[in-house]
Amino acid sequence: MLSTLLVQLLTGLSGASSLFLVSAGLTVIFGVTRVVNFSHGSLYMLGAYTGWSILSRLPREPLPFILGVLLTVAALALLGALLERLLLRRIYAAPELLQLLFTFGVVLVVQDATQAIWGPNDLPLPRGRWLRSFVEIGDARVPLYDLILIAIGPAVLAALWLLLTRTRWGTLIRAATQDREMVAALGVDQKRLFTSVFALGAGLAGLAGALSLPDGSANLQMDLSIITDAFVVVVVGGLGSVPGAFLASILIGVLQAFGIVVLPQATLVLVFVIMAAVLVVRPNGLLGRPQAIRENPASTTLIRPAEPALRWLGLAALILAAAAPLFVGPFLLSVLTEMAVAMLFAAALHFMMGPGGMASFGHAAWFGLGAYAAALAVKGLALPMTAGLLIAPLLAGTAAALFGWFVVRLSGVYLAMLTLAFAQIVWAVMFQAVDLTGGDNGILGVWPAQWATDRLVFYWLTLALCTAATLVLRTILYAPFGYALRGARDSELRAAAIGLDATRLRHAAFTIAGAAAGLAGSLAAFSKGSVFPGFIAISRSVDALLMVLLGGVQSMAGPIVGAIAYTGLFDLLLLATDQWRAVLGLSIIVLVLAFPQGIAGTAHRLWLRGKEA
């Protein structure tokens, strides 16, 4: 019994080391550059593939292995530096989180590029004898390689600690982590600093990727399967804190190893439960420090309702959308329906993210809850479709109000990650409650009521409801509530001084955003005739985030433009080319470079410039 516990503990610790290696790079990059680097998983995957290409050509002895791993680290560091110098550097001035959109484009491009270079098949690295050997504990065996990993984790931690505390470069890094502007003011060349940090982070990702090879293979799924776990570790540890990431890795790795024994199904969601618990108790992670209060740079101008010319433009677009079915075929009609739903979904996220200042990585939770509520109302309770459309926003709003109570106490990336944790918990519940929800097979046969079966009618219904709900959101934002919300976002202290309760304002905004997403979800359910756990998945939340960022966070029209652009691009590219990921990724990268304020934001700025001239 004791030996079993010890074996499980050691296994957990080796898993923890692997987690730490991936997340160390991510936390270093975030700490200094504030870039939420979604492509860190891609760097990890490239590390594994590069490592495979190098190591499979070397003899299977320890020394060549070490050499091959170091070569991989160097290659990835170089790649990271290139990525930073050629691309990321151009958008540091852009609003926060726009870099996330950008790195997501990189993810897509890397996926297609990797498949083109290395092919679709998994690439296993043959293991030398020493990699297959083990140590006996009682009658159980622990792989020697696990023990090596357990040693590498602390060794990398120590090396990073020495680098950060005992070198001039490290001092500058730590200074930049605390106050980037001050470091710049003191005359430090930020560009070089950022490039070197990115190289370090990418090198660490490469190290993690190469070291994952003896336990498995290089494969095309590894980028997305690791990235959320890495983010969880970084956030649980405290953003930018390397020792925090180490602690968090151990916590998660060990709990995971024992969780598997106690409740095997828990592996779906355990890391997110841990994250939610930690963030509720420690809003800045285990070792994170509260972020310095910064005035929101984008908030210096007051956002007013659009001038008449733009309103006419909006009205014209709406009339065009309503008349569209008269010219387009059934497929474009289904794309338009998706666009309408996406518009409301994105507008709901924008409501809390833009004016509310609360970015969410888990907005699909409310979308999915709305969809499931509608589907269960119709299929389970045999209620009419209209009842389903009513119940969905109510239930999603109620759930958002409950979760929101915890969420709104946090800020920034911590807040976003807590919403992600809740979304994942909701997802896991829907996934596991097979009897109620059909598990991953979903609920089928959720087709619209008789009177709305005609796709034209359903499109007009969707368009009407989505437009109305979006306009309601807009009205709220230009009502005193909206101004108060933006006031609390821009300066919580000043808002408090004039008697505004920021927490309550945010909580209300969060609830409204949840309800609106729920309505969008219920319409999606009826338009697809089915509901799946995928409606709540991370990729769906990311979709919403991409739409808002693409359109422009600081523009009321942003989410609408973003939803139309992203949905249109995605749907048409999927149809047009096998390489849609690469093309979509490149499009996103190009759009970010061309429209650093989002499409609507940049367009509006150009419009204003024309006026002033």
Partner 1 sequence: MSITRRSALAAAGLLATPAIVRAQGNTPIRIGEINSYTAAPAFTLPYRNGWMLAVEQVNAAGGVFGRKIEVISRDDAGRPPDAIRLAGELLDDQKVDLFAGSFLSNIGLALSDVAKQRKKLFVGGEPLTDAMVWQNGHRYCYRLRPSTYMQAAMLVDDAAKLNAKRWVTVSPNYEYGQSVVKWFKLMLSQKQPGVEFVGEQWPALGKIDAGATAAALAALKPDAILNATFGPDLTNFVRQGNTRGLFEGRGVVSVLTGEPEYLDPLGEETPEGWIVTGYPVDSLTDPANKAFIDAYKARFNETPKMGSVVGHALIASIVAGIAKSGSTDTEKMADGFAGASFDTPFGKAAWRAQDHQATLGTYVGKTALKGGKGTMVNWRYVDGSAALPSDDEVKKMRPA
CB nearer partner 1, residue 306 or residue 586: 586
264, burial (CB in 10 Å: exposed 0-12, middle 13-18, buried 19+): exposed
Question: Among residues 61, 122, 181, 454, which is the contact residue for partner 1, using CB under 8 A?
Answer: 122
299 counts as binding partner 1 under rule CB under 8 A: no
What is the token pair recorded at 335? Answer: 């794309």
Contact code string over 176-205 relative to partner 1, x by CB under 8 A: ------------------------------
84 in contact with partner 1 (CB under 8 A): no
**Between vectors from CA 351 to CA 349 and to CA 356, what angle results, nearest 5°?**
110
Instruction: Give the whole-angstrom CA distance, residue 160 versus residue 157.
Output: 5
**Cβ atoms 236, 278 nearer than 8 A:** yes
| Closer by beta carbon to partner 1, 381 or else 574 | 574
- Residue 287: closest CA among 321, 250, 261: 250
Stretch that binds partner 1, among 151-159, 165-173, 411-419, 577-585 (CB under 8 A): 577-585
Q: Look at residues 93, 74, 89, 99 and name the one whose alpha carbon lies nearest to residue 199.
A: 74
Residues 27-56 binding partner 1 (CB under 8 A) are: none
Q: Kindly state the smallest distance separating residue 429's Cβ from partner 1, in Å.
A: 13
Cα separation, 342 vs 543, whole angstroms: 9
List, in sequence order, every beta strand (DSSP E) within 347-506. 443-444
Tell me the closest approach of the beta carbon of residue 347 to partner 1, in angstroms. Answer: 19
End-to-end alpha carbon distance in the chain: 80
**Cα angle value 35/90/342 (rounded, 5°):** 65
Which of 358-366, 430-438, 458-466, 513-521 is the region at the interface with partner 1 (rule: CB under 8 A)?
Answer: 430-438
| Binding status of residue 261 toward partner 1 by CB under 8 A | yes
Residue (145 or 351) nearer to partner 1, CB = 145
Select from 257, 430, 461, 485 the one that contacts partner 1 (CB under 8 A). 257
Out of 167, 171, 225, 386, point to the residue binding partner 1 (CB under 8 A).
225
Strands (E), 20-105: none
- We find the least distance from the C-beta atom of residue 500 to partner 1, in angstroms, to be 40
Stretch that binds partner 1, among 10-18, 289-297, 302-310, 503-511 (CB under 8 A): 10-18
- The answer to whether 17 contacts partner 1 (rule: CB under 8 A) is no
Q: Give the amino acid at 230.
A: A
Give the Cα separation of 352 and 365 in Å (integer). Answer: 14
SS3 content of the chain, % helix, strand, coil (to 5): 75, 5, 20
Q: Is 120 in the site for partner 1 (CB under 8 A)?
A: yes
Residue list 439-458, contact with partner 1 (CB under 8 A) = 439-442, 444-445, 447
Of 585 and 601, which CB lies nearer to partner 1 in the complex structure?
585
Residue of 59, 155, 165, 216 that binds partner 1 (CB under 8 A): 216
Binding of residue 296 to partner 1 (CB under 8 A):
no
Question: Is residue 58 close enough to count as binding partner 1 by CB under 8 A?
Answer: no
429 lines the binding site for partner 1 (CB under 8 A): no
Which of residues 17, 42, 50, 219 is near partner 1 by CB under 8 A? 219
To partner 1, the closest distance from the beta carbon of 174 in angstroms equals 34
**CA gap 559, 550 in Å, rounded:** 8
Distance CA(232)–CA(426), nearest Å, equals: 17
Taking the least distance from each CB to partner 1, the nearer of 84 and 571 is 571
Task: Select from 549, 590, 347, 331 the least CA-distant residue to 466.
Answer: 347
**Which structure tokens are listed for 404?**
């929101």
* Rounded alpha-carbon distances, angstroms, from residue 599 to 104, 301, 409, 477, 606: 17, 18, 31, 21, 11
Nearest to 58 by CA among 109, 148, 126: 126
Q: Considering the rule CB under 8 A, would residue 334 count as an interface residue with partner 1?
A: yes
Alpha carbon distance 515, 344 (integer Å): 11
Is 4 an interacting residue with respect to partner 1 (CB under 8 A)?
yes
Residues 303-332 contacting partner 1, CB under 8 A: 329-332
CB of 310 to partner 1, least distance (A): 24
Among positions 532, 549, 555, 604, the unique one binding partner 1 when judged by CB under 8 A: 532
Judged by beta carbon, residue 9 or residue 401, the one nearer partner 1 is 9
Q: Contact between 492 and partner 1 (CB under 8 A)?
A: no
Q: In this chain, which of 272, 366, 372, 431 binds partner 1, going by CB under 8 A?
A: 431
Residue 220 binds to partner 1 (criterion: CB under 8 A): yes
Q: Look up tokens 């984790």; give the residue.
A: 153
CB-count exposure of residue 140 (10 Å: 0-12, 13-18, 19+): middle
Answer for which of 11, 23, 284, 554 binds partner 1 (CB under 8 A) is 11
Helix (H, G, I), strand (E, B) or coil at 122: coil
Q: Pairing relation of β-strands 140-143 and 134-137?
A: antiparallel
Q: Name the residue nearer to partner 1 (CB basis): 82 or 586.
A: 586
Of the candidates 456, 484, 469, 237, the residue with the CA atom closest to the CA atom of residue 333? 456
Does position 146 interact with partner 1 (CB under 8 A)? The reply is: yes
Q: Which of 154, 573, 602, 605 binds partner 1 (CB under 8 A)?
A: 573
Q: Kind of pairing, strands 217-218 and 443-444?
A: unpaired
Smallest gap, in angstroms, from Cβ of residue 300 to partner 1?
30
Number of residues that bind partner 1 (CB under 8 A): 84
The CB-of-7 to partner 1 minimum distance in angstroms stands at 5
Q: How many CB atoms lie within 10 A of CB 296?
A: 14
Q: Is 141 in the site for partner 1 (CB under 8 A)?
A: yes
Pick from 318, 319, 575, 608 the residue near partner 1 by CB under 8 A: 575
Nearer to partner 1, 324 or 500 (CB): 324
* Residue 91 touches partner 1, criterion: CB under 8 A: no
**Closest listed residue to residue 241, CA positions, set 193, 290, 198, 192:** 290
Tell me the sheet residues that pair with 600. Answer: none
Q: Does 572 bind partner 1 (CB under 8 A)?
A: yes
Binding mask 357-376 toward partner 1 (x if CB under 8 A, else -) reads --------------------
**Would you count residue 590 as binding partner 1 (CB under 8 A)?**
yes
Chain center to CA of 272: 14
Token readout for 484 is: 């108060």
Q: Is 591 in the site for partner 1 (CB under 8 A)?
A: yes
